[in-house]
Structure formats: structure tokens, C-alpha cells
Structure 1
Amino acid sequence: AFGLCLKAGNVAFLRGSSGGLESNRAIAASIRSALVDVDLPADALILVEDVSREAAVEFMQQRGYVDCLIPRGGPSLIRSILDNATVPYVIDGDGNCHVYVDESADLDMATEILVNAKMQRPSVCNAAESLVVHAAVADRFLPRAVEALVGVDLVGDERARAVVPGMGEASEDDWSTEYADLKLSVRVVDDLDEAIRHVNETGSGHSEAIVTADEQASARFAAEVDAAAVLVNASTRFVDGEEFGFGAEIGISTQKLHARGPMGLEQLTTEKYVIRGDGQTRG
């Protein structure tokens, strides 16, 4: 985070949790010493050592001193930012990502994509948390998906459980939960319209994937799903600053302004216009 801020010409205030304070002190001291060694100001990095909630709220309201907040934390931190901040912010939100298997999907491809999206690194924000399957292929796809998802706890709606006996029952909360673990919710839908509606109602606006051989279906999904990234016949795990060619990232924005998706160096800068003339006036 600090390396990106420095390259973008920003001073960075870093504030961590109480549990990481001693580690953060050591890291900040090392970075500040290195800055001095290369003739840069040590105060390019400032560690906020007061980890109280009151201090956090006060910091969120330092408009005029702080240009942007980038919260990296759980739902309680995000809620505090939304409720209290007067400083502009970019939310690095939850990753409740879906994989939708359409009726025309290559089921071997769909299985590979699903396994990668769920199991490669289940704790990261671009891992799949929910599987949505078209009813026309549910009987054929779900058994093979279950066989491939070894060690994954599956919870589903009534139609999914009818295909896979022994699958757990999904609660309403499951549809909007980022598990960050080897757990997956499963829903069977009648058509593309229902799939898009379900994704938009329960997703977090992070990354959503469709597996399909139907170009019209993929075009509709890409246009109508409200997310920072939509993937057609590819794993949600590709939504990453390095994979996008941005290099390092400071987070993945799930809001629409000023940045959306992976935030690299460019997203930590702003525009400034300098107009040089020799006496021109506007008519």
C-alpha cells in the first residue's frame, strides 16, 4: 500500500488494528528510516497509533487534510466509513462472487472454472461464493460439480437439494455471504433473466462470471449485471491488479466513482490541468 502511495506522490497515513500495532510500529519505523536514507521525507509515511474507534471516526472527518480513505477491513469498518466519513472514500468491498452456468455451457469447462474460482484460494475476495445453474443443465452439471468440489461445504435451494441429496439447506443470509472459506451456496434458476436478477440482488458488485456458448446470453449478462468485473468463460480469480496488467494493487473497488475494480498506481492519482497562453481571452 505504501509503495503505491509513494510512487503516486501521496503521503500515506496508515492505521491498523490494535492487534497489529506493534508490528505496524516496526514496519513504519523501517520504512521511515529507508525514506531518509534515499533523501525523502520520513513523514511520507505516518502511522496512526491511536487505534480507538473515536480516533478513527475523527480521522474520517479530516476533510482538507486527508484526500481519500481506502478502508481494508470487515463489514464493521465499512459501515463506520459509510456512516461517519466526510472525507471522500473508495470502498474495497466484500467479494460475494457468483459463477452462473448457462444452459448452453460446456460442462467440462464450467467444472474447471468453478473449481478454480472456489478452491484455488478460497479466502480471497475474488473467489466464488455462489453457484447459479440453469435448470436445463442442473441434473447433469450439479453431480459432477459436487464430485469435483472435494472438501467444499455446499448449501442449496430446494431444487439444488433435489438433484444432490444430502446437500445442506441454504438460508436467506447465505445468498449474500462472503464465506472466504470452503463453502458455496447453490441456486437453480429457470432462465437467464432469473440468474441476472439473483446476481444483482445478492452480489456485492465485485466479480461475476458466466459460462456459456451463447453470445447473446454472454452479452446480456455482461451488460445487465452490475459489477466491477464480468467474466465470460473465465474464472473470477482473474480479477486482480497484476492479472489486469496494473502491477501492484491497493484494493478492488466495488463502487463506481472515482475508481472501480482493481486499483493500481493510476487510480491513486488525480487530474490537474495547466493552460499556458500568450494573452488569449474567451469570446
Structure 2
Amino acid sequence: MRSAIVVGATGLVGTELVKLLCESDEYISITAITRRKLEYEHPKLTIKIRSFDELGEQDFDFAHDLYCCLGTTMKKAGSRHEFEKVDFEYPLQIASLAKKKGVMHFIVISAMSANEKSSIYYSRVKGKLEQELIKLDLSQLSIVRPSLLVGDRNEFRFGEKMGEYSLKVLNPLLIGPLKNFRSIEAKQVAQAMIVIALHGKKIPVSIYESSELAKLEMPTKVQEDEEPISREQLFNWDKFKEEEPLPLDEEVVFDKSKLRDIKVDNDLK
């Protein structure tokens, strides 16, 4: 059984991820580190409300997997400085703390266009985060790069809604290398992250593009026999029941004439 930490549990992907982890038979304990209370409750779930500016080692316990789903927009952040705190500084700090606590696998949401040399500011910040995380030399790092996320957000984002409607029409036309530009459901990204944690590539650093995330599904379990094989079936007791037992002599007579002469070695006298 596994344990998991989710940071960014109130976002579009994080919300779906927490629910899927709690419903998974593979996980026995899930801790959500968040800045505000979650509406979702579950016996497996522990919620730690923290200020990310004051996070320390005391806020983290050992876990098999740490899922980092932090992310914001320039409009919501209000400035480049605040944007970089959420999308760069916090994830890097959390990864460093996770390493100190012995967390085995760090799984982080980046962006399809991440590139530290990009002329686009957003893509450049995401690319810089990826490079700094790789430099941390974590036990295992998985970077997921989704395209435009689709799902029910708490706030209305006009630009993303327009893009979502447009891509719903264009998605079937985006084939081959263009598949990475298809919009993707937040729940599918959350499921893909769990599949990566449980069945993903067992190498130090892995990068998953959006088209690959869209295809990841949990392997189906081989169904066990509904009824275990009984001892009667295993040893075929019926065969023995059908055979009549050999009759036993009512009286056993000791016949001395059948005894052989036994020579005794003189040395043994």
C-alpha cells in the first residue's frame, strides 16, 4: 500500500487527483497541503492548511509519491513576481523538501510549451522550472505537459473558455504531431499522473507530452477465481470415495515359520 502528498489540491487537476487517489485501492493515505479548506472529505484524506511562504520540513512526512499541481495565471497572480512564486519558486521549494524527507517520486504539472529559451514568458518560466527540478537530482522525477485543460473551474476564465470551445471543434482535425495541441480533460490528466506513479517509466527523469497523457489508462486487473479451489478438487477425493476399501483381517496371526534365521555377530554380544 502506498501514501501520497498532493500540493495544489484546490486546482482543476488537483481536485480530480485527490478524489481518484482516495478511491484507489493502491493508496492507503493521502495528505493534501493547501492554502484553503477542501470541500471534499474522505477517511483516507488528511488536510494540512498552510501558507506556502512558510512551508518547512515539519509540514512533510514520508510518502511514496508527491503530486505537485500548483499553477496560476498572470491575471490572477497580478504580477510577474507573484506568478513566479506560484509556478516556479513554490514547486522547486516543495521538491527540495520532499527530497529531504525521502519522498520517492515527484510528479509535477508543467506545460506543453515549456522551454527555458522560449520568447513567451509563461513557457520560459515552466521550462526554467523543469531544468531546476532536474538539477535537484531527485530519486525519480516525472514531468507532465498537458495542453489546454478542460473541466469545471471555480472561476470563469474567458480566454480559456474560448480556447476550449475552439479546440472542441478542432480536436478531431489535430492528428499526427499536432495531437499534442488537443485539449485534454483535467480528470484524464489526474488519472494519467496516477498511472505514471504506479506503472510509469522507471528512470530518473521522464517527460510525458499531452498526447501521451491522453492515452494513459489504469491497467485492468486480472480477475481472480470467484471461489478458491477446494482441497477436494485439488486432491480428487471423489476418486477415493468411489473405490471400495480393502477388507481388514479381523485377527492377525503371527506366523513364526515365516521368520528367517538371524545370525548375530559375535562382536555385538
Q: TM-score, normalised by structure 1?
A: 0.34
Specify the structure having the higher radius of gyration (Cα). Answer: 2
Q: TM-score, normalised by structure 2?
A: 0.35
Higher RCO, 1 vs 2 (CA within 8 Å, ≥6 residues apart): 1
